[in-house]
Amino acid sequence: MSGADRSHRPPGVSHLPAATLAGMDVPGPTARLLLRPMTDDDLDDMAALLGDPVVMAHYPRPRTRTEAQAWIDRTRRSYRDHGFGLWVLVDRVTGEFVGDCGLTVQHVDGVDELEVGYHVRPDRQGEGLATEAALAARDFAREVLGATRLIAIIAPQNVASQRVASKIGLGVEKRARYGADQREVLVHAGVP
């Protein structure tokens, strides 16, 4: 293992890879997407994504540029501490930034859980890209991390995200209160 503290794992994760940003394991390319580590150079794209009211419709509010930088910083800490995090989605044909997707540790009902999350630019929504990326993240959780459980935390009104969760094999497990604002969410869960 690397110098990172890997003693704290979410339930259902058998091992965490020793990773550095330069040599970090990432899901392989999908039919239409490349997944790569997020860097500070992604701030403009991430600020536009997280600041978009359509993308953030099911969050308490869109994020500011400063909050987008904090998002990147948290993601990079996750790479260091866990060997995984959110990855940038890049269109394989055009090279354009499409969104982000990946795995994070989330605290739900007193338990640390491995969660898959995804955000896609509004002009690229409806193309199945979130599902494609989430499938790659799910497979990474199973094949690289040895995960035996994966969740998605989704607002009850976010039907599109619920469809993605269903397509990757996660079904509604329970309702929970989540986040600093304790908003109601649906926890979708399954075996990756």
Distance spanning both ends of the chain, measured CA to CA: 24
| Local confidence band at 6 (pLDDT 50, 70, 90 cut-offs) | very low
Q: Position 95: which residue type?
A: G
CATH number at residue 110: 3.40.630.30
| Local confidence band at 13 (pLDDT 50, 70, 90 cut-offs) | low
Does the residue 187 lie in any domain?
Answer: no
Does the residue 178 lie in any domain?
Answer: no
Does the residue 171 lie in any domain?
Answer: no
Nearest to residue 83, comparing CAs of 116, 112, 105? 105
* Domain count within the chain: 1
Residue 113, H or E segment: strand 111-120
Domain containing 87 equals 33-148
Question: Could you report the per-residue pLDDT of 78-135, keeping only the tens digit for each?
Answer: 999 999 999 999 999 999 999 999 999 999 998 999 999 999 999 999 999 999 999 9
Does the residue 84 lie in any domain?
Answer: yes
Does the residue 64 lie in any domain?
Answer: yes
| Local confidence band at 179 (pLDDT 50, 70, 90 cut-offs) | confident
* Contact call for residues 43 and 65 (beta carbons, < 8 A): yes
Q: Is 12 left (phi over 0), alpha (psi -120 to 50) or beta?
A: left
Does the residue 17 lie in any domain?
Answer: no
Does the residue 9 lie in any domain?
Answer: no
